[in-house]
Every structure is written in structure tokens, then in C-alpha cells.
């Protein structure tokens, strides 16, 4: 350990962890150190580049707070989140695929009844969403907890616009519902549009330097939980929308793309008469049984 | 890009960077993403582990400020700093080896004349340090700028003890000197002891979980700069001291271990008569010519 040079440092660090009580931690950290060192060797990382990386991570840390998680954004934009989600959510054929959780979910969003308007005053074209929560054998799942969240027509989520103090009172285009006895759910909201991930910080500057845009294709976030089933975290993407082939966080799956159907002014699914055009979206979610 | 699964995500992320104008940035980030993904695949990183990593990095970011650089500490303890230093400082035989810079250097430390006491009132056993700054051909380098910094007998650096407001006035056991026309330098300080890296934060908790201690063997930091030469960043380690074989940041090189010679009370190198025992350290530094 006192003659550590370029060729011996990796083995020295690995050896230093031999007393770790948590074998899994030792395995993970050993693999991390080996790849971190291999990376630095392969590109022959310079001292200046190392220091730029230190400054970058410091900036990521300093912009992160209760409302903004720049490390998750970094993980998302480097595809790590998608990889971790994919390798931990392999399911039988027929189950709805998972995708990234993202940094914009909020605990404690308002609860709604079936048919309610979760836009809560946000402006945008009306969109009526309906579907069923099912088990893989096609049987309905009653009383599933359904969290939904989306951006508004200005491409912002409510938490990106509003001061923290008014968060709970002012939630818009997010809420919690339950599936009915026959597994159905429905709610009114507004049409989701493409939206950029927060890109006024260090991750945005990195994307810019890499020639990448910060946009995500239009999507609705869903998190669906029911006793005995794996909790499903996913999005539904709008067919025909922009950025489906260049999602900044690599979240698109073909099975999660659905048609938002446009309707001329007339009677909406909830029986009201609308003077403007509106959209409908229908999607059934299939949950995977939890392993006992 | 819309059918991204575990097997295709890495290629998708690499492809997303194809428009980067800076070819070196593209090379570095491509290699980083490949290793980051390989790591996550090899250990089959779970979603819970991923989230613990996000929380860990967030804590590293939040404890980092102008006086404390926890990301550098993390790099140091994972051996990355030693690797980057080693692969960027390969020198002809005979030149003094480089080692880690560390997070405890301070800009604007006080300037001293040859023979001054840089301890500036810090308590500890007196130590008289002398040596020469040389070129590889043995010729002296005059007017080299010599920065030196070390911990005190309580195992703290001044910046770990003092409030920021009094930093400049109260610097202790750190300073800047110049070599004389014949390349020599000498100063009085105190005996450096082993000291722990700052371990009350997330990096300290990680070391603890890994069964590692936070201690560094006794050392003096030097940074020596002269026109026409590569700036040397190194330490001198105390022969016989504890932790030489388990330095928490992997900085020890055999060529950098030197004898601190203990002397009974009597006449010190600066001619003063001391009633207590004292130490002397002599070390010559050999700088490498800068490539033109």
C-alpha cells in the first residue's frame, strides 16, 4: 500500500474495502471503483478535466433542493435511470411496461373522484382520459391507487411554476384517483404537450455542450399501486407528437404510445356540451403480480 | 430511439451525443456512459440502490462549500485522484514524484522569509525543515515559489478549526517561501502528525460502512513552482509513522518518505538554544523541465 502507482491503485482501493461488513456494498463499490478507474485510464483523463468534473458535480449539488433534483436529471439524461428501471422491471408479456419516474412527482397531491377535472384550472385543450386497471389474466383490479401528473400547455409542471408555500392548495394537472369495482377509471384534464426538462442548470449546460436538446415528447405520468401487485411507474406518450425519437431522457417504449383522439365541438364523454374541440385517450394498464 | 430497452439504452445515449462540437467532450462522455452502464449491469443495480446513490451524492453536494470540498474527498478516497495525478505526472527518473493535491490548500497564505517560523503560534514540537530545489541535472533553481501546508499537533489544519472571517489573519502551519540563489530553503514549523480526513459527512459515513479508517500518515504538503518547470505538487511523509500502509487517500510513495530526525534539547539549526527536544527534516526537490 505504500508503493501506489497508476498500475496498482485500483487493486489498493479494492483491497481497502475487504473489511466491509455489508457484502453487497463491497460488491457494488468494488465494481464502481473498477469502472471509474477504467474510464479515467481509457480516456487518459487530465487533471484539468478532473477538476472540471469536480466543479460540475458541485454545481449539480448546489442547485439540488427539495423541489429540484439535478442528480436524478443527470441520471435520466445519461440513460442510467432507464437502464436501472428496465433491468428491475422485466415482466411477463402482456403487462404494461415501466419507464422513468422522473423528478417531478409530488407527494400529497389532491384526491379526486372518478370523472373529476384534475386540471384544476390549468389552461389547455380539454382531454378526457379513461381506461381500466387489469391483472394479466384480464380480471379487473378494484380500488387501485392511480397517481397521474403532467405538464400544462405552457410546457410546465405546476411545481416548476409555483412557490412552495402554495403547492398543496394550487396543485394543477396532478392528482390521485381510484379504480372502480370493474377496474375502470376516468378523469378530465388538458392536452399534454412536449416539455423541456429543467435546463437552466448544469445538466442543461452539459446537454447543450453535447449538442442535445432538453425536450421530452408529450406524455402523461402514471403510478398505479394495488395490494398483491408490483407498483407500476410509467408514462403514456402521445402518438404523432414531436420528440418521440429523441426523448431527452430515453423513456419512450412503443407499447406506451397511444392515440389522443381529437373531436370536434359537441358532447364530451362526461355528458357536457363543449363549444371547443376536445381530445380523448383510452388506455388499459396491466399490473404484474408481486412475487411472494 | 423509441424502442429503448436494457440492451439498447447505451447505444442510444452514445448516439445522442453525435452532434457535440467538442470531440474530446464526446469521447470522454461516451466512455463515461459506457462504463456507468456496464457498472449498473454488472452489479444489477436495484432501484433502491440507485436512489441511495442519488441521496448520497445530494448529501455530498450539500456539505460542499468554499471551505470544504466533499467531491474531492470522495475522489481521493476512491483512488481516482491518485490515478489522475499518476497518469498525468510521469517524469524522468530522478525527478520528485507527485502526489494528491488534497482539499486543504488555501490561496493567499502568508509569505515568509527563509528561516521564519511558519507555525505562527500553533502548538507542537519544533521541527526545522530544509532542503534544495534542483533541476534534474543537479543545478539549483533560484527563486522557486514554495507553498507548504500541514496539520497541527491536534491533527487539524487551520482551516478546519477557524471561522472564515479570521482566516487570513490567523493562518498557521502554512505559508509561502522562495528558494535562495543556491536553491536552498529552510523554515521552522512544528512536527506534523497523522490526521484524519474530514469524516463527519457522507464520505466519512461511506468509509465507515466500508470498514475503512479516515487517517492519513504524518506528512508535509509542498507545491513548488518555477518558470520553465512543471509545478510539483507533493507531500513528504514521515518515516516510521502510522498509516503509511493504509493512507485513506492512497497518496504514499516510497520516494516521498523521509526521516524526521529527533534531537535532544540544545542548539537548533537556526542558532537558538531550545530547552525541549526538536526535529529536523532535510529533503531536496527535483523539478521536471516543462515541455515547450
Predicted pLDDT of residue A234: 96
Determine which helix (DSSP H) or strand (DSSP E) holds B131, and give its type and residue range.
strand B126-135
Mean pLDDT of A263-285: 95
Question: How many angstroms away from the CA of A66 is the closest CA of chain B?
Answer: 11
Best residue in B1, B8, B9, B240 for a mutation probing chain A (most A CBs within 10 Å): B9
* pLDDT above 70 for A71: yes
Q: Beta strands of A142-207 (E only): which ranges?
A: 145-149, 174-178, 184-190, 195-196
Q: Beta strands of chain A (E only): which ranges?
A: 126-135, 145-149, 174-178, 184-190, 195-196, 215-216, 219-225, 232-238, 257-258, 261-263, 266-267, 273-274, 278-282, 285-287
A265 Cβ contact list (under 8 Å, min separation 6):
A274, A275, A276, A277, A278
Q: Which residues on chain B are in Cβ contact (under 8 Å) with A75?
A: 50, 54
* pLDDT above 80 for A115: yes
* Residue B127: C-alpha distances to residues A4, A132, B106 (Å): 28, 79, 22
Predicted pLDDT of residue A164: 52
Best residue in A16, A22, A51, A218 for a mutation probing chain B (most B CBs within 10 Å): A16
Predicted pLDDT of residue A152: 83
Predicted pLDDT of residue B169: 58
Per DSSP, what are the bridge partners of residue A266?
A274
Q: In this predicted model, what pLDDT tens digit does every residue of B201-227 receive, in sequence order?
A: 999 999 999 999 999 999 999 999 999
For residue A234, report the phi and psi dihedrals to the nearest 5 degrees. -155, 175
Give the span between the Cα atoms of A269 and A186, in whole angstroms: 10
Cβ of A43 within 8 Å of Cβ of B28? The answer is yes
Question: How many angstroms away from the CA of A103 is the closest CA of chain B?
Answer: 12
Please tell me which of the candidates B13, B26, B38 has its beta carbon nearest to residue A79: B13
Cβ of B82 within 8 Å of Cβ of A25? The answer is no
Give the span between the Cα atoms of B142 and B185, in whole angstroms: 10
Question: How many angstroms away from the CA of A38 is the closest CA of chain B?
Answer: 8
More confident residue, A292 or A275: A275
Lowest mean pLDDT among A31-40, A42-51, A156-165, A215-224: A156-165
Please tell me which of the candidates A49, A83, A254 has its beta carbon nearest to residue B2: A254
Closest CA to A6 of A31, A41, A30: A41
* pLDDT above 50 for B128: yes
Mean pLDDT of B232-244: 94
* pLDDT above 60 for B167: no
Q: Which residues on chain B are in Cβ contact (under 8 Å) with A88?
A: 44, 46-47
Give the span between the Cα atoms of B163 and B170, in whole angstroms: 10
Q: Which residues on chain B are in Cβ contact (under 8 Å) with A78?
A: 13, 32-33, 36
Cβ of A39 within 8 Å of Cβ of B35? The answer is yes
Mean pLDDT of B144-157: 88
Cβ of B54 within 8 Å of Cβ of A36? The answer is no
Question: How many angstroms away from the CA of B225 is the closest CA of chain A?
Answer: 17
In percent, the amount of chain A with pLDDT more than 90 equals: 80
Predicted pLDDT of residue B165: 47
Q: Report whether B195 contacts B215 (CB < 8 A).
A: yes
Which cell numbers hold the place of B53?
Answer: 446513490
- Counting Cα atoms < 13 Å in the Cβ hemisphere of A226 gives 22
Lowest mean pLDDT among A199-208, A255-264, B8-17, B63-72: B63-72
Average pLDDT, chain B: 92
Closest CA to A5 of B222, B243, B246, B250: B250
- Please report, to the nearest 10 degrees, the dihedral formed by the alpha carbons of residues B281, B282, B286, B287 taken in order: 50
Please tell me which of the candidates B61, B69, B83 has its beta carbon nearest to residue A60: B61
Lowest mean pLDDT among A24-28, A175-179, B6-10: B6-10
CA angle A274, A278, A280 (to 5 degrees): 125
Predicted pLDDT of residue A165: 47
Mean pLDDT of B151-172: 69
* pLDDT above 70 for B42: yes
Mean pLDDT of A70-78: 96
Which cell numbers hold the place of A19?
Answer: 473489511
Please tell me which of the candidates A40, A84, A247 has its beta carbon nearest to residue B47: A84
Cβ of B79 within 8 Å of Cβ of A38? The answer is no
Q: Which residues on chain A are in Cβ contact (under 8 Å) with B56?
A: none
Confidence band (pLDDT; 50, 70, 90) for B34? very high
Q: Report whether B177 contacts B114 (CB < 8 A).
A: yes
Give the span between the Cα atoms of A83 and A119, in whole angstroms: 32
Q: Which residues on chain B are in Cβ contact (under 8 Å) with A210?
A: 16-17, 19-20, 25-26, 29
* pLDDT above 70 for B242: yes
Q: How many CB atoms lie within 10 A of CB B85?
A: 22
Which cell numbers hold the place of A278?
Answer: 376536445
Give the span between the Cα atoms of A27 and A30, in whole angstroms: 5
Q: Which residues on chain B are in Cβ contact (under 8 Å) with A247?
A: 1-2
Please tell me which of the candidates A17, A64, A254 has its beta carbon nearest to residue B211: A17
* pLDDT above 90 for A66: no
* pLDDT above 80 for B4: no
Determine which helix (DSSP H) or strand (DSSP E) holds A207, and give its type and residue range.
helix A202-209
Which cell numbers hold the place of B280?
Answer: 529536523
ipTM, two decimals: 0.90
* pLDDT above 60 for B36: yes
Q: What is the pTM of this model?
A: 0.90
Mean pLDDT of B160-169: 57
Confidence band (pLDDT; 50, 70, 90) for B81? very high
Q: Which residues on chain B are in Cβ contact (under 8 Å) with A211?
A: 17-21
Counting every residue written for chain A, the total comes to 292
Confidence band (pLDDT; 50, 70, 90) for B164? low
In percent, the amount of chain B with pLDDT more than 70 equals: 96
Please tell me which of the candidates A6, A17, A87 has its beta carbon nearest to residue B44: A87
Lowest mean pLDDT among A262-271, B39-48, B160-169: B160-169
Closest CA to B44 of A108, A124, A83, A48: A83
Q: In this predicted model, what pLDDT tens digit does every residue of A146-189 receive, in sequence order?
A: 999 998 877 778 877 765 545 545 788 899 999 999 999 999 99
Mean pLDDT of A64-78: 93
Q: Which residues on chain A are in Cβ contact (under 8 Å) with B253?
A: 2-5
Predicted pLDDT of residue B292: 67
Q: Which residues on chain B are in Cβ contact (under 8 Å) with A35?
A: 35-36, 38-39, 42
Q: Which residues on chain B are in Cβ contact (under 8 Å) with A251?
A: 4
A292 Cβ contact list (under 8 Å, min separation 6):
none
* pLDDT above 50 for B186: yes
Q: How many CB atoms lie within 10 A of CB B106?
A: 15
More confident residue, A291 or B23: B23
Closest CA to B148 of B162, B129, B122: B129
How many Å is the maximal CA-CA distance in chain A?
A: 80
Give the span between the Cα atoms of A106 and A103, in whole angstroms: 9
Predicted pLDDT of residue B268: 93
Which DSSP letter does residue A290 get?
A: P
Cβ of B79 within 8 Å of Cβ of A33? The answer is yes
Cβ of B31 within 8 Å of Cβ of A39? The answer is yes
Please tell me which of the candidates A6, A61, A83 has its beta carbon nearest to residue B58: A61
Amino acid at each position: 500500500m505504500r508503493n501506489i502507482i497508476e498500475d496498482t491503485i485500483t487493486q489498493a482501493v479494492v483491497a481497502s474495502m475487504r473489511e466491509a461488513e455489508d457484502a453487497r456494498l463491497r460488491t457494488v463499490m468494488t465494481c464502481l471503483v473498477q469502472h471509474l478507474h477504467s474510464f479515467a485510464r481509457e480516456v487518459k483523463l487530465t487533471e484539468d478535466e478532473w477538476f472540471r468534473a469536480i466543479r460540475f458535480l458541485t454545481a449539480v449539488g448546489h442547485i439540488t433542493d427539495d423541489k429540484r433534483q439535478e442528480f436524478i436529471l443527470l441520471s435520466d439524461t445519461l440513460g442510467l435511470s432507464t437502464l436501472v428501471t428496465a433491468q428491475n422491471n422485466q415482466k411477463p408479456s402482456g403487462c404494461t411496461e415501466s419507464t422513468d419516474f422522473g423528478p417531478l412527482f409530488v407527494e400529497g397531491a389532491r384526491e379526486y373522484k372518478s370523472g373529476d377535472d384534475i386540471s384544476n384550472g390549468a389552461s389547455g385543450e380539454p382531454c378526457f382520459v379513461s381506461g381500466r386497471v387489469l391483472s394479466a389474466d384480464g380480471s379487473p383490479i378494484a380500488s387501485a391507487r392511480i397517481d397521474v401528473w403532467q405538464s400544462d400547455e405552457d410546457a410546465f409542471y405546476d411545481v416548476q411554476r409555483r412557490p412552495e408555500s402554495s403547492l398543496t392548495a394550487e396543485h394543477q394537472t396532478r392528482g390521485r384517483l381510484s379504480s372502480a369495482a370493474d377496474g375502470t377509471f376516468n378523469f378530465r384534464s388538458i392536452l399534454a404537450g412536449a416539455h423541456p426538462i429543467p435546463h437552466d442548470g448544469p445538466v442543461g449546460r452539459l446537454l447543450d455542450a453535447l449538442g442535445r436538446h432538453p425536450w421530452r415528447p408529450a406524455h402523461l405520468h402514471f403510478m398505479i399501486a394495488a395490494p398483491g401487485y408490483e407498483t407500476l411507474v410509467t408514462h403514456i406518450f402521445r402518438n404523432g407528437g414531436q420528440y418521440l425519437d429523441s426523448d431527452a431522457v430515453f423513456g419512450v417504449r412503443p407499447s406506451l404510445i397511444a392515440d389522443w383522439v381529437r373531436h370536434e365541438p359537441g358532447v364530451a364523454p362526461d355528458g357536457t356540451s363543449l363549444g371547443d374541440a376536445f381530445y380523448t385517450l383510452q388506455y388499459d394498464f396491466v399490473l404484474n403480480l408481486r412475487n411472494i
